[in-house]
Amino acid sequence: MEIRKTGTINVWVTDAVTVTPFGDNLNDLWLALLAGKSAIRPLQRFAVEGYHAGIASWIEDLVKIDNRSMCHFLIEHLLGQLGPMPANTLLITATTKSGIDNLERIRRCAPAAPADVLPGGLLEEVHRQLGLTGECINISAACASSTIALAQGAELIASGYTNSVLVCCMDLVTEFVFSGFSSLLALAAGPCRPFDRDRNGLSLGEGAAALLLMNGELARQESRSHLGTILGWGAANDATHITAPARDGCGLRQAVLKALDIAGRHADEIAAVCAHGTGSVYNDLMELNALNQIFGNRRLPIFSIKGSIGHTLGAAGGIEAAVGLRTLSEQMAPPTVGFSNPEIGAENKVSFQPSTFSGDCLLTTNSGFGGINAALILEKGSLQ
């Protein structure tokens, strides 16, 4: 496969839709983020006594349909927002745990569809509902899953392998996932505080996103919207620890530099950063180390949306890419909810208020267990 840079074939994002606790559309999410709202609140889905936290960002009316996973609810609300797309569109799904809520039901001898537990079940359902005829794959790369899925989709289009890729990502707040993070002592008792000196852990969240990527020439021919362009992408593993990042940020730095190289852009051309920003002690410090190595003392806005919607795991990168495109369109970085006392390196960059900026390029990053790091360079679209 011959890989051509996006300067030869522009990788347009023509559709970007989300489902979060703030509603079934990106606009409602965007307005909530700008207003500094948070959906992190006491959990009522399952008993939380005995865990290290009792809160999360969860969708109140998320329900099971028959014996199927709650993922099907997300799929229906997500795909209902998408317009028509080429039938041969290549589908990439991204999730860490897919319909793991059904594993809980199976273990408790309750009716449940076993196929939903595996990521392939999600993949087949999306493929079927959209009537797609193209290839389909699933990517599970911890909390960088959907960022890497977008990178893979962009590369497949830039290489000329396909003209259209749909990336569909989602994850749930389930007791299985919640108990795992609690056992790692990774959950904050109160809402997470990204990049704050007093942060003490993350808050889990759930949600979904779908982004349609297209060859720019084909998109123009079909009069598609141009929400933005994926200019560059990069991924790297710091190979340090099964759950902890390399504290010097070497893996994230390498991923960002690779993305800049593919985009043909210099660090000075990045106008804002949508960071991973989980609120965990070592991840936030690692990110600040990496970003400050790349951008130096520049006062560009760096923000995290996880203080608003929690950490949505495999869906985080897709939701944040959609928000990143809106950030570029509005030339406005949302506030980082929960941030008040800056960690060293966050001063004059992270803010608890919206920040205006001027520029066409945004960096969005995600990192995950196993040392995975991923980065995308997004460019402002030409059509509003």
pLDDT for res 7: 44
Q: How deeply is 56 buried, as exposed, middle or buried, from its count of CB atoms within 10 A (0-12, 13-18, 19+)?
A: buried
- Nearest Cα residue to 143 out of 318, 347, 261: 318
pLDDT tens for 317-327 read 999 999 999 99
| pLDDT tens column, 260-309 | 999 999 999 999 999 999 999 999 999 999 999 999 989 999 999 999 99
Catalytic residue among 71, 136, 311, 361: 311
Place of tokens 């990143």: 324
Domain boundaries, the chain: 11-221, 232-380
Q: Which of 136, 143, 169, 250 is catalytic?
A: 143
What pLDDT sits at residue 250? 86
Per the residue annotation, which of 77, 127, 276, 361 is the catalytic one?
A: 276
Q: Would you call 226 a catalytic residue per the annotation?
A: no
Look over the chain and give the mean of its residue pLDDT values, rounded to a whole number: 93
Which positions of the chain have pLDDT values less than 50?
1-7, 384
* Per-residue model confidence (pLDDT) at position 9: 73
Amino acid 354: pLDDT: 97
**How would CATH label the architecture of 232-380?**
3-Layer(aba) Sandwich (3.40)
For the beta carbon of residue 380, count every other beta carbon within 10 angstroms: 18
Q: What helix, strand, coil percent values describe the chain, rounded to 5?
A: 35, 25, 45
Are 11-221 and 232-380 the same fold in CATH?
A: yes
pLDDT of 123: 86
CB contact set of 7 (below 8 Å; sequence gap of 6+): 264
CB under 8 Å to 230, separation ≥6 — which residues? Answer: 6, 11, 13, 150, 151, 154, 213, 376, 377, 378, 379
Structure confidence at residue 204 (pLDDT) = 98
Is 311 a residue of the active site? yes
The Cα 35–Cα 307 span in angstroms is 12
Domain covering 11-221, topology? Peroxisomal Thiolase; Chain A, domain 1 (3.40.47)
| pLDDT at 8 (0 to 100) | 58
Residue type, 115: A
Q: Is 169 a catalytic residue?
A: no
